Amino acid sequence: MGLEDSGPIGVGFNFINHGQTPAQKFNSIGVIDLLPYPLPQGYFLADAPNKPPEDGVIFPTQPHL
């Protein structure tokens, strides 16, 4: 809410493995879109785009940025 101009926006996130074993084959997919509010009746949300899987490992307490 409150986006009044066409200036760029950014979203940051990170994941931290709080477990005791490595997290393997970790993958994240995200989409940002500006949508009308409220959504019109029958509005269709598109599926997230395909992304190649990551082969990385997140070790315990290590952030994935």
**Per-residue pLDDT tens digits for 30-40:** 777 778 888 88
Tell me whether residue 46 is in a domain. Answer: no
Q: Is 2 left (phi over 0), alpha (psi -120 to 50) or beta?
A: left
Tell me whether residue 45 is in a domain. Answer: no
Q: Which amino acid is at 50?
A: N
pTM for this predicted structure: 0.42
Rounded mean pLDDT of 12-33?
A: 79
Tell me whether residue 49 is in a domain. Answer: no
- Residue 62 neighbours by CB distance under 10 Å: 13
Specify the 3-state DSSP secondary structure of 38.
Answer: coil
Band of residue 41 on the pLDDT scale cut at 50, 70, 90: very high
Tell me whether residue 41 is in a domain. Answer: no
Q: What percent of the chain has pLDDT over 90?
A: 3
Tell me whether residue 40 is in a domain. Answer: no
Band of residue 14 on the pLDDT scale cut at 50, 70, 90: confident
The residue segments making up the domain with residue 61 are 14-28+54-65
Rounded mean pLDDT of 22-46?
A: 81
Number of domains in the chain: 1
